[in-house]
Structures are given as structure tokens and as C-alpha cells.
Amino acid sequence: MQTLPIVKIEALAARRLNEQQIADVLDISLDELKQDRGKISLFREAIRKGRAKGEAELRGALYKRARNGDIQAYSELLRREKQQDSD
């Protein structure tokens, strides 16, 4: 198996695709990947980081809108914060 495209995995994870969807887009066999502990670990770490980056970007955009008086953006920020606290 070739080197994992970490940057692409992170970018797709930032868009909230799941493991299987990311593997399908990148033409990676998830079953083969799961057989290699090192690579599946890197794959999942890239997904975790990508999701965190995507969430940070989204919250940044919501924060800017909320600062400009957008009540819906403010409500969404609060909802996301509450959801994070419950996780």
C-alpha cells in the first residue's frame, strides 16, 4: 500500500465525511488499511485532526457572524458548545 495522502484525508474529514467515504474518495481499501495497525492509526489521526480543523473553521465563521449581530449564528455557537460539553 502506498503512502497515505494525509492532507487530503484531513481535508475530507473537515467536511465531515466518515472513514468509509474518505477511503472511497481516495480509492483506498479500508479493509486492507485496517490490517496495518500503523497506517490505520495514521488514517484515523488525520481524520481526527481534519474534523477539529473543520470545526474550528466553522466556529470561526459563526463567531464573526455572531459578532456582527447574527442571532442565528450566536445560537448555533451556543448549541455547538453545549454539544461539545456533553461529549
Model confidence over 19-63: pLDDT tens digits?
999 999 999 999 999 999 999 999 999 999 999 999 999 999 999
Asked, for residue 40, whether it belongs to a domain, the answer is yes
Q: Does 33 fall in a domain?
A: yes
> Residue type for 7, please?
V
Distance in angstroms (rounded) separating the CA atoms of residues 87 and 15 = 20
Using CB atoms within 10 Å of the CB of residue 31, give its burial: 0 to 12 exposed, 13 to 18 middle, 19+ buried: exposed
Statement: residue 1 has pLDDT above 60: no
The 8-class DSSP code of residue 3 comes to -
Q: Answer whether residue 1 is part of any domain.
A: no
pTM comes to 0.85
Overall domain count for the chain: 1
* Residue 84 pLDDT level (bands cut at 50, 70, 90): confident
| pLDDT at residue 41 in the model | 97
Query: What is the CA angle 65-69-70, rounded to 5?
Result: 55
Domain that holds residue 80: 6-86
45 is a domain residue: yes
